[in-house]
Amino acid sequence: MTQSSTKLSRRTLFAGAGTAGAVAVAVSVMPALKGSALPVAETLKPAPENGGGYSLSAHVKQYYKTTRV
């Protein structure tokens, strides 16, 4: 007697079930992502004509606070 090569093992069954579950989740999330818009980045101020484009923004102030000893 020879065994069939199409015998289904538990490992194969669980791997297939996990893959099917992951695909189902991905398909259910896709419509929600399609309608959502990504946030648009702020437009930068134009650079000054005479140079000196540095400005003390809130981000820079926060950085300076973190570097204090």
Q: Is residue 22 part of a domain?
A: yes
Range of the domain at 23: 9-33
Render pLDDT for 6-50 as a digit per residue (tens, 0 to 9).
667 888 888 999 999 998 888 887 766 655 555 666 777 777 777
Q: Is residue 29 part of a domain?
A: yes
Q: Is residue 25 part of a domain?
A: yes
What total of structural domains would you count in the chain? 1
Q: What is the pTM (predicted TM-score) of this model? A: 0.37
Q: Is residue 56 part of a domain?
A: no
Q: Are 52 and 46 in contact (CB under 8 A)?
A: no
**pLDDT at site 8:** 73
Question: Tokens 């650079």 appear where?
Answer: 47
**pLDDT at site 4:** 53
